[in-house]
Structure formats: C-alpha cells, structure tokens
Amino acid sequence: MENKVVFITGSAKRLGAYTAKFLHNLGYRIVLHCHHSVEQVEALSKQLNGKRADSVKWVQGNLCELEALNKIAQSAVDAFGRIDVLINNASAFYPTPLGDFVAQDWQALMGSNAQAPLFLIQKLQKQLAQNQGVVINMVDIHAQRPLSGHTIYCMAKAALVTLTQSLAQELAPDVRINGVAPGAILWPDTALPENEKNAILSQIPLCRLGCEKDISEAIAFLISAPYITGQILAVDGGRSIANPSVA
C-alpha cells in the first residue's frame, strides 16, 4: 500500500482528518484537502509526515466553485503523480426550512454534497481507471429517510446515492464506487440538549453513538473489497432498520 494514494476532500478536521490518519497508518500516501482550514490541514500534514516522511501533501480550494474543481483535482494528481482512491468526504450540513433558504444555501449544500463528487470523479476518471481505483462517497442515512427542515441537504445526499449507483455501472470494471452512510457518529459542534441526545440514542439498537473509527474501518473495508461496487453501507448501529419510520 505504500505506493497507493488516497485523496480525501474535507480532510482538515473531524471525520475527514481521522480517516486520513487511519488510512495513513495502514500505509497509504494521503492527499489532504481543505477550503478555509489551512492551519488545521498544515498541522495534520506535518504530524503525519513526521511519522512517515513525504507521505502526505495537501491541496486547497472551494469545492462549490465549478471552475475550481479541475484545479483541485489536477493538484491532487500532481501531489504524488497518481490517485488510487478518491474519498468524497467534504459536506456542508445545516437546516434549510422552506421559506428561509436562498440560492447560496442551494449552492453550498448541493455543491459540496453532489456537484463536487460528480465533477471530481469525471476529472479523475482516467487516473482511477489506470490504477483499478476506488471511489468512496460519504452519504447519509437521511438520503432515504429525509430529515425535516433539511430538504436541500437530503436532496443532495439522495443525488449522491444515485450518482454512486449509476457511475458504478458506467465505470465498471475499471473503477469501483461505493458509499458509506453514517448514522449518529459525532454530536454536532453546536451543543445538543441531553433530552435530544437521549432521544437519538433510544433509536439505535446498539445503544451508543458511533465513532470515527467505525466509519474509517468501513471505508478501509470497501477500498479492499474487490467484488463490491454500487453499494451503500449503512454504519448506524442498526438505527435505519430498527425504526425505519424515524428519520
């Protein structure tokens, strides 16, 4: 794996950063990406390169700007001269109640969650095909069970599911494309009341919040599973099957 290169969007912090560390520990070289979080991505790059020299580089750019996507993709290829795995992790997430959202909300949510994955895959298709590559799209259990007040986000994730299933057929057999649909993994940065946390936990058969390692292990599995493509793997503690009527 020491020659294989993984490009992870939105990898300066939270789940993206953890995934980068996890895959780096498995021996992959990593291309990190950020938009605004330059300080964090520089620190992560320095940390990982301290463990294994010249194994991590980073690129910067706004995934919601169409004209920037080609530059971001090319910079990712130029980092090590190849791309073996693309992980579309970057995601805007916030509520958009009907009557309150504006065009900028549409551009941010659709741009990061659906538009960027599509155009990055198109730009990196040749590189991925040359290396029998893999794409992992970070989906969401709410792509199928929409979350009230988050219509645009849920639309974008539903589009990402369709993208995953459609391109898995179109790019086979040279490129495999799968998705990971996390359930409750990390509490949001804004504090949730205890009663809301308890309500969420009560819907999870495994009776606990998931963690970054749960998602990273699922990603690593899908990268290494040569006969799996076009699938969405729910990593949600059983929440989606225990109470399918609850978003």
Residue 228 structure tokens: 């799996």
Q: Is 94 known to be catalytic?
A: no
Query: Is 247 part of a structural domain of the chain?
Result: no
Name the packing angle between helices 14-25 and 212-224 (round to 10°).
Answer: 50
Query: Is 144 part of a structural domain of the chain?
Result: yes
Considering its fold, how many domains does the chain have in total? 1
Of 41-55, 92-106, 136-150, 230-244, minimum mean pLDDT range: 230-244
What confidence score (pLDDT) does residue 246 get? 44
**What does the alpha-carbon distance between residue 183 and residue 210 come to, in Å, rounded to a whole number?**
7
Q: Which residues of 63-83 are buried (b: 16+ CB within 10 A; e: fewer)?
A: bbeeebbeebbebbbebbebb
What confidence score (pLDDT) does residue 1 get? 61
Segment 7-40, tens digit of pLDDT: 999 999 999 999 999 999 999 999 999 999 999 9
Structural domain for 197, as ranges? 5-242
Segment 67-109, tens digit of pLDDT: 999 999 999 999 999 999 999 999 999 999 999 999 999 999 9
- pTM, 2 dp: 0.93
Q: What proportion of the chain, given as a percentage, has pLDDT over 70?
A: 96
Say if CB 113 and CB 160 are below 8 A apart: yes
Report the largest interatomic distance among the alpha carbons of the chain, rounded to a whole angstrom. 51
Query: Is 101 part of a structural domain of the chain?
Result: yes
Query: Is 162 part of a structural domain of the chain?
Result: yes
What confidence score (pLDDT) does residue 207 get? 84
Give the CATH number for residue 203: 3.40.50.720
Q: 18, 28, 94, 153: which one is catalytic?
A: 153
Binned at pLDDT 50, 70 and 90, residue 239 comes out as confident
Say if CB 112 and CB 64 are below 8 A apart: yes
3-state SS of 34-70 is ECCCHHHHHHHHHHHHHHCCCCEEEEECCCCCHHHHH
Q: What proportion of the chain, given as a percentage, has pLDDT over 90?
A: 81
